[in-house]
Structure 1
Amino acid sequence: MASNAAKVPIFRAVTKCGFSTQTAVKASQNLSRRTEVKTAVLANKLVIASVDNNSPISTVTVLFRAGSRYEQHDSLGNTHILRIAAGLTTKDSTQFGIIRNLQQIGASLSCQTDRETIAYTLHSTSDNLETGLKFLGDVASKQVFKPWELSDNIPRLKYELASLSPYAQLLDLLHRAAYRTGLGNSLFCPDYLVGSHSTESLQHYVKNLFTTNHAAVVGVGVDHGDLLCFAQNLALESGAGQVESASRYSGGDVRRDTAESLAHVAVAVEGTSLKNTKEALAFAVLQYALGVGSYAKWGSSASPLTRAVGSAVGSDPFAVTAFNASYTDSGLFGFVSSSPGNVARQVVEAAVKQLRSGSLPSADIARGKAQLKAAILFNQESNSTLAEDIGTQAVLLGSVLSGPAAVSAVNSITDAEVNAAANKVKSGKLSVAAIGKLAHVPYSDQLT
């Protein structure tokens, strides 16, 4: 079983030239057909979304609004354990049976968690999809959490905690600084709770949150009618499930000193929620306009954020990228940086000054829109990222915006709307998270 706590976006550049207008129109029409999203909502409030793009590989995902934000003080780490437990014995299938049968048909089953969702995903050849769906349904809706199997996976849990990257830890600390509870809950099991999660506590968590009102089923390369039949037969309880409590943005500092020579720092203010689509797109454009890294393998970014930091530190090495995360009721917007500890103050202060500038030139906004549109369309070319995209929209918003529709929405964003988002960032209260060599890293109240 493969399990992922976080994914790094893949950048892919494609250059095309010499196409006639007629060819471009046909290509656009073909893209629209390949990315047409069909949606339905069952009587029990389960959301279904599919894209039948005639791919030889079918991807089906069952998602639940049951991420780490729903954990209470006595259930911290539950989502990490659930991710590891994906593929263990269920009511109808043994662990050995799940693994062997999926291997026999060349399929894979994975579980991914974030702060709002848990997603169980099956990848299978289309001709073996029916067999694979049986085991996806078992893993997603018929868990039993046998105590001895949970105990057998404690070494794996310890390994995952010991091998967390500084970047994963940094974003965890940033959310803790910004929200404290709810969205501030860690994606990972606290060290002091390793081995303490019981069958009863996991079953209670699943019973309260793995309900039809909290769920969505999405498919790519799947017939919509077949997906409906699968969704209707899932062993999920109907009902509202646990009520989501709003996360209040607080701001502040969380720091963790380590022995390494680098300082990794994340600074953010409160952004916007996914439910405000127009503003969420404006913040997404602002992120790309500020800069999300180099687009050339051996080159450096010419973005405002990189230029500002480069001018401050001279020839010293550094890396900086804009950061944007939107959730159902809030969001974070800022930057993430890495540098030698002795120049961390200059890096952070220069990046904050650029972040607080309040407006951007039209040329940078145009570049940001172009890069965002390219990123949206690149995601449409992979079944995995396409399923992840429409799945997140379906389970959190109850509706799905297709790739071409999203591009059209980005085109409608004006410079004034992007600069309004920038002005919101300018006046926001800072949250600062840092890990590494932190002697020279400023605190939030030392930054303006």
Structure 2
Amino acid sequence: MLVSRFSRLAGSSRVVSRLASSQSALIPTAPNVLETNSGVKACLMESKVTDTSLSQNLKKDVTDISLVVKAGTRFESDVSQELGLAQALKTFSMLTHDGSTILRSLGTMELLGCEYGITVTRELIIYKLSCEQQYFNDVLPFLTSALSKPRFAKWELGPTKYQAKLDSFLFSQDPVAVTVDLLHKAAFRKGLGNSLTMTEDQVDSLNPDKLLKYHELMFSPSNAFLASNNAPQDLVKSHFENFGKGEAGSKSMVKIAKSEFISDEIRSDDNTKDSVVIAIARSSGPTNSKQAIIDSMLAHLLQGKSSSSIGQKDFLLLPLAEEHGEWAQAFQCDYSDAGMFGFLVSCQAENATAHVNKLMESLKSLDVSLTEDHVTIARSSHMRGVLSELSTPSAQVEHMAAQMMLGTAIGQDEYNAILNSVTKADLKKAIGDFLNAPKSMASHGNCSHVPYLEQIKC
């Protein structure tokens, strides 16, 4: 089934690559932003795109749509104290809705060769649709109806809970995803600290009333932004003119308190394992701030020895036992009002203390020996990572929609000016801040040899 397949693919396997690649904009704020009759704002990217992945590998003109709703997991605790609702909508969003059953909706999309998926982040729920332009007018009504007029029928909710539990189980099997999730909880507690997964109790407690209440509060026209590539403007306007249950302007943008980074530690111990994943981080800046860009450059410079390394050299120099799959790398993640910079270490449990101490020693050494060449490598590695992240039209559309919705998009000239202004002194300060500033830490696995946060020698 289409939704189930993409729900699983949108899980935790890309956690490391997403963390390492900055969310900073290479795409400027577009001037062609329109507002539909309902209040949904949209950005139409006009470039012509062909794709070979649809319709039996025949080249076709492809339309990419990303609709982002400011309804991610960080908003749940302010709504009903029932965490898990955003993740539930990922699984249940295409159930029977006004005018269509799930079989008709998904069957039609699959018949027309569409690609459809849902991603839930800490700030957004992102609905992604890619189809041949000739089918755009036939397919989009299924998506808009599912988003604006859901029913969450009881006879469908029960069987679909199995998929929600399966998604959460698969998430729990990725030690890196679990560790990063715990790190967010340690560093932010509520809001950005809300989990990206659901417990069985949360799944079992779901009912149509809870889902509809969250949906009605969050899915208002003023809380959604649409970006498209190769989509006719008149069709976008017509399909979204009645989006949302209220009149245009009847609901205000959802607002939340600014996230504050705190210093704390969470250990998820399992002594049956012989390995452990450690995440340690300090605060960083929000999306497209200079601090976030500096930290992203540093994260790309310090990729260590890992499967996603794109740097030219291992500057961490940890004595990793590669035969046991040990690796270490820096990461940076940013949100509309906060961020984190830090390191992930995956190793045998007995090596944990040695690797953490060596990490600190390596950073002290780099802080002293940093040169202009390091700045050049950091900038080029960062750019390579961002270009790779935005290499497809669908990725660019999603990126544009997310940043416009969150109010963090900046023009390319401004972005380039910030990037080019980063100096050796900026990178040295970023390293020094990690060594000396308050940090949060999470570890998952056999934590018996992991030093406690206050024991780490900086």
* TM-score, with length taken from structure 1: 0.85
Distance 1:327 1:156, change over 3 A: same
Distance 1:410 1:209, change over 3 A: same
Residue in 1 that maps onto 2:22? none
Would you say 1:350 and 2:350 are equivalent positions?
Answer: no
Residue in 1 that maps onto 2:399? 389
The secondary structure found in structure 2 opposite 1:169 is helix
Residue in 1 that maps onto 2:76? 71
The answer (yes or no) to whether the contact 2:327–2:347 under 8 Å persists in 1 is yes
Q: Distance in 2 between matches of 1:61 and 1:82?
A: 16
* Count of residue pairs brought into register by the alignment: 421
The one-letter amino acid of 2:372's match is S
Q: Distance in 1 between matches of 2:47 and 2:304?
A: 30
Q: Distance in 2 between matches of 1:163 and 1:181?
A: 23
The answer (yes or no) to whether the contact 1:256–1:435 under 8 Å persists in 2 is yes
Cα distance per residue 1:384-412 (max 9 Å; x no partner): 3212211221111164545x874564234
Q: Distance in 2 between matches of 1:431 and 1:102?
A: 44
Residue in 2 that maps onto 1:199? 208
Q: Distance in 2 between matches of 1:401 and 1:139?
A: 33
Residue in 2 that maps onto 1:42? 35
Cα distance per residue 1:43-96 (max 9 Å; x no partner): 876432232221122110111111101112632010111111121111222101
Q: CA RMSD in A?
A: 2.9
Residue in 2 that maps onto 1:304? 315
The one-letter amino acid of 1:53's match is S
Q: Distance in 2 between matches of 1:365 and 1:224?
A: 43
Residue in 1 that maps onto 2:23? none
Residue in 2 that maps onto 1:98? 105
Would you say 1:234 and 2:243 are equivalent positions?
Answer: yes
Q: Distance in 2 between matches of 1:204 and 1:260?
A: 41
Q: Distance in 1 between matches of 2:304 and 2:402?
A: 22
What's the offset of the Cα at 1:355? 4.8
Distance 1:123 1:224, change over 3 A: same
What's the offset of the Cα at 1:346? 1.1
Q: How does 1:75-86 map to 2 (within 5 A)?
A: 75-86=82-93
Residue in 2 that maps onto 1:377? 387
What's the offset of the Cα at 1:341? 0.9
The one-letter amino acid of 1:216's match is F
Q: Distance in 1 between matches of 2:16 and 2:342?
A: 20
Q: How does 1:140-155 map to 2 (within 5 A)?
A: 140-155=147-162
Residue in 2 that maps onto 1:51? 45
Runs of 5+ in structure 1 lacking a partner?
Answer: 12-31
The answer (yes or no) to whether the contact 1:122–1:132 under 8 Å persists in 2 is no
What's the offset of the Cα at 1:419? 3.2
The answer (yes or no) to whether the contact 1:66–1:118 under 8 Å persists in 2 is yes
**Higher RCO, Cα 8 Å, sep 6+:** 2
Determine which of 60, 66, 70 is the counterpart of 2:65: 60
The answer (yes or no) to whether the contact 1:294–1:300 under 8 Å persists in 2 is no
The one-letter amino acid of 2:74's match is R
Q: Distance in 1 between matches of 2:186 and 2:326?
A: 24
Distance 1:40 1:282, change over 3 A: same
Distance 1:10 1:388, change over 3 A: farther
Would you say 1:365 and 2:372 are equivalent positions?
Answer: no
Residue in 1 that maps onto 2:14? 8
What's the offset of the Cα at 1:350? 2.0
The answer (yes or no) to whether the contact 2:286–2:337 under 8 Å persists in 1 is yes
Q: Distance in 1 between matches of 2:353 and 2:367?
A: 21
Q: How does 1:251-290 map to 2 (within 5 A)?
A: 251-258=263-270, 259-274=272-287, 277-290=289-302
The secondary structure found in structure 2 opposite 1:60 is strand
The secondary structure found in structure 2 opposite 1:195 is helix
Determine which of 404, 413, 428 is the counterpart of 1:419: 428
The one-letter amino acid of 2:293's match is L
Q: Which range is displaced more, 352-361 or 199-208? A: 352-361
The answer (yes or no) to whether the contact 2:44–2:229 under 8 Å persists in 1 is yes
What's the offset of the Cα at 1:270? 0.9
Q: Distance in 1 between matches of 2:286 and 2:367?
A: 20
Residue in 1 that maps onto 2:53? none
What's the offset of the Cα at 1:365? 1.9
Q: Which range is displaced more, 349-358 or 283-292? A: 349-358
